[in-house]
Amino acid sequence: MGGLATDPYICTFLSSMMGRPVIDQSPPMVKSTAFYNHGGGVVSTDVRSPVREFDIQNYYHQDNDPFAALREYRDLDPFWCEAYDGFWVFTRYDECKDIMQDTSLFSHVGAGVPKYELEYPLMPSEFDPPYQTKLRSVILPLMTAAKMDRLEPRMHTVCRDLIAGFKDQGHCDMVTEFARKYPIAIFGDLFGLPVERREEFRILAETFLHDLDAQEAAWNSIRGIIKEELEERHKAPRDDMLSGVAHSQIDGVPIEHDVAINLASTVFLGGLDTLPSNIGWAFRYLAGHPEQRHQLVEKPELAAGAAEEFLRVYPSVPKTARVAKHDARFHGVDLKGGDAVVGLVSVAHLDAEKFEDPETINFERKSNRQMAFAVGSHRCLGSHLARHELEIALQEWHAAIPDYRIPADTKFAYHGGGVFAMEHLPLEWDV
Ligand code: HEM
């Protein structure tokens, strides 16, 4: 492992970190044209059709809500977009689910629109079963629901400490002062990052995510630190995830060192932008919906249902991408082997056939089969952790600061790409 991979697959959420644009209130680079749902099947032809414009990087919207920009594609039949060598776009729940679940037809290898090159492959993201399943088997026992439960007291403490740091000033930047700091503090414990290196790691992670010019250097530094830490664990194992990875086996033989580095680095990156993003969108919504905020204050036990609803309506990874392995008919489309496909998961989450009253955020929704963590072979390895963290953030914040608002003159900036995340979310409250 470790050589220069040509045209590698980079999973949807991590690909977002490479070269994604920040969107402010400027006009769109390419404005999507108005189009209509023709309602019938899709014509089989070598020239794929119907063709529509779809700007997969920029999601300009007048309310600065990229999810609302994607909603424009709701209930459309599949269509072909010619940008980035071409790709199919699917918008409905069953289509997105089948894209993720049908590993006989779809591959992760070479997927990702647009494609990127990374010097070191992301693991398990850039692989297909059966090898990918073996890679996952290293991480799965280290991130079980029971293990994540044990982190709960620490989650409460970290949230309380962060909030205490700005509560009395009556305002904060929710994204930079809370949503980004909280997950890395928790993951640092689980992972086993030495306390004295955490600030360095947090800055590297921030640089990797938010400074494109310094991204590659930051990524190499992150891998370098993980390499050193794994070497330490080889000499003396500890009770942490890095030790678990360092001493794991694949097919009954000790894991190769390069594989361990890539695997641990990918898991580290997986939670960096996704969870802060989900926290950010949830609080932006709640700031404008006092009645639902008060529900959370009065009944903190609703936080779990609220978290599921925010994952449904604002899934921070709003799309999924694969490549067709061979020619096949799929939901009315004649796919050619090698065709790239993209499923709009956030749009699928508004499918009225699957969700009752889908536009309404209902903390007490009875059935919520959202796919924010994906389904199938690449299902998120951090989902138990992420769910707990989101739920506890909602509880702790509303216990401490029940009423808050977004300042009137706020201009939102967010990035598009594979993860939809806000750059800043100013909040203010009375003190
Ligand atoms: C709200 C937070 C999160 C969301 C919405 C999310 C979403 C996702 C999605 C949609 C995938 C599949 C991507 C694809 O098919 O290309 C994925 C995979 C993955 N996630 Fe997460 N994630 C979150 C948090 C985390 C955390 C906290 C971690 C680790 C600490 C993590 C680690 C991973 C890894 C390692 C994979 C790759 C799994 C594989 O390819 O087999 N994620 N995540």
How does pLDDT run across 328-374, given as a tens digit for each residue? 999 999 999 999 999 999 999 999 999 999 999 999 999 999 999 99
Task: Give pLDDT, residue 57.
Answer: 78
Q: Can you say whether the dihedral through the CA atoms of 301, 381, 328, 37 is positive or negative?
A: positive
Kindly state whether residue 7 falls inside one of the protein's structural domains: no
Task: Give pLDDT, residue 43.
Answer: 40
- The Å distance, Cα 428 to ligand 1 centre, comes to 31
Kindly state whether residue 23 falls inside one of the protein's structural domains: yes
Res. 317: pLDDT tops 70? yes
Kindly state whether residue 117 falls inside one of the protein's structural domains: yes
| Number of folded domains that form the chain | 1
- The Å distance, Cα 271 to ligand 1 centre, comes to 7
Res. 193: pLDDT tops 50? yes
Out of 12, 13, 240, mutate this one to test ligand 1's pocket (max ligand atoms within 8 Å of CB): namely: 13
Helices (H), 8-144: 12-15, 66-70, 93-101, 131-139
Out of 274, 277, 344, mutate this one to test ligand 1's pocket (max ligand atoms within 8 Å of CB): namely: 274
Q: Which of 56-70, 330-344, 393-407 has the lowest mean pLDDT?
A: 56-70
Task: Give pLDDT, residue 281.
Answer: 97
- The Å distance, Cα 35 to ligand 1 centre, comes to 33
- The Å distance, Cα 39 to ligand 1 centre, comes to 34
Q: Which of 42-56, 78-92, 223-237 has the lowest mean pLDDT?
A: 42-56
Query: Could you identify the atom of ligand 1 that is nearest to the CA of residue 374?
Result: 10
Rounded average pLDDT over 87-96: 97
Between 2 and 361, whose confidence is greater? Answer: 361
Rounded average pLDDT over 202-209: 78
Query: Could you identify the atom of ligand 1 that is nearest to the CA of residue 132?
Result: 41
Query: Could you identify the atom of ligand 1 that is nearest to the CA of residue 135?
Result: 41
Rounded average pLDDT over 295-323: 97
- The Å distance, Cα 266 to ligand 1 centre, comes to 10
Which pLDDT tens digit goes with each residue over 19-28?
A: 344 444 332 2
- The Å distance, Cα 315 to ligand 1 centre, comes to 11
Q: Which of 21-25, 183-187, 297-301, 331-335 has the lowest mean pLDDT?
A: 21-25
Out of 193, 380, 392, 419, mutate this one to test ligand 1's pocket (max ligand atoms within 8 Å of CB): namely: 380
User: Which residue has the CA at smallest separation from atom 21 of ligand 1?
Assistant: 380
Task: Give pLDDT, residue 214.
Answer: 83
Which pLDDT tens digit goes with each residue over 150-159?
A: 999 999 999 9
Task: Give pLDDT, residue 121.
Answer: 79
- The Å distance, Cα 233 to ligand 1 centre, comes to 25
Kindly state whether residue 305 falls inside one of the protein's structural domains: yes
Query: Could you identify the atom of ligand 1 that is nearest to the CA of residue 125?
Result: 40
- Residue 136's domain comprises 12-428
Question: What backbone torsions phi and psi does residue 323 show, to the nearest 5 degrees?
Answer: -125, 135
Kindly state whether residue 2 falls inside one of the protein's structural domains: no
C-alpha–C-alpha distance, residues 226 and 223, integer Å: 5
- The Å distance, Cα 26 to ligand 1 centre, comes to 30
Question: Band of the pLDDT at 414, cuts 50, 70, 90?
Answer: confident
Task: Give pLDDT, residue 170.
Answer: 98
Res. 189: pLDDT tops 70? yes
Rounded average pLDDT over 206-210: 74
User: Which residue has the CA at smallest separation from atom 9 of ligand 1?
Assistant: 373
Q: Indicate the pTM of the whole model.
A: 0.89
Which pLDDT tens digit goes with each residue over 245-290?
A: 999 999 999 999 999 999 999 898 888 889 999 999 999 999 999 9
Question: What backbone torsions phi and psi does residue 207 show, to the nearest 5 degrees?
Answer: -65, -45
Q: Which of 153-162, 210-219, 232-241 has the lowest mean pLDDT?
A: 210-219
Task: Give pLDDT, residue 22.
Answer: 47
Kindly state whether residue 264 falls inside one of the protein's structural domains: yes
Question: Band of the pLDDT at 118, cuts 50, 70, 90?
Answer: low
Kindly state whether residue 285 falls inside one of the protein's structural domains: yes
Query: Could you identify the atom of ligand 1 that is nearest to the CA of residue 136?
Result: 41
**Ligand 1 — pocket residues by CB below 6 A?**
11-13, 124-125, 132, 136, 187, 266-267, 270-271, 274-275, 278, 315-317, 320, 372-374, 378, 380-382, 385-386
Report the CATH number that the domain containing residue 404 is assigned in CATH: 1.10.630.10
Task: Give pLDDT, residue 270.
Answer: 85
Res. 145: pLDDT tops 60? yes
Distance of CA 120 to the CA centre of its chain: 20
Question: Band of the pLDDT at 61, cuts 50, 70, 90?
Answer: confident
C-alpha–C-alpha distance, residues 27 and 23, integer Å: 9
User: Which residue has the CA at smallest separation from atom 3 of ligand 1?
Assistant: 274
Residues with Cβ within 8 Å of residue 41, at least 6 apart in sequence: 77, 332
User: Which residue has the CA at smallest separation from atom 19 of ligand 1?
Assistant: 380
C-alpha–C-alpha distance, residues 109 and 340, integer Å: 11
Rounded average pLDDT over 183-187: 91
Task: Give pLDDT, residue 26.
Answer: 34
C-alpha–C-alpha distance, residues 295 and 30, integer Å: 40
User: Which residue has the CA at smallest separation from atom 11 of ligand 1?
Assistant: 380
Question: Band of the pLDDT at 1, cuts 50, 70, 90?
Answer: very low
Phi-psi region of 269 (alpha: psi -120 to 50; beta: other; left: phi over 0): alpha
- The Å distance, Cα 273 to ligand 1 centre, comes to 10
DSSP assigned state of 344: E
Question: Band of the pLDDT at 112, cuts 50, 70, 90?
Answer: confident
Q: Please report how the helices 181-191 and 198-210 are oriented relative to each other, as an axis angle in degrees rounded to 10.
A: 130
User: Which residue has the CA at smallest separation from atom 32 of ligand 1?
Assistant: 270
Question: What backbone torsions phi and psi does residue 359 show, to the nearest 5 degrees?
Answer: -75, -20
Query: Could you identify the atom of ligand 1 that is nearest to the CA of residue 387?
Result: 1
Rounded average pLDDT over 194-209: 80
Res. 202: pLDDT tops 90? no
Residues with Cβ within 8 Å of residue 354, at least 6 apart in sequence: 93, 348, 369
The per-residue pLDDT of the chain, averaged, comes to 87
Rounded average pLDDT over 199-209: 79
Res. 3: pLDDT tops 90? no
Query: Could you identify the atom of ligand 1 that is nearest to the CA of residue 12?
Result: 16
**Do residues 68 and 59 make contact, with C-beta atoms less than 8 angstroms apart?**
no
Kindly state whether residue 6 falls inside one of the protein's structural domains: no
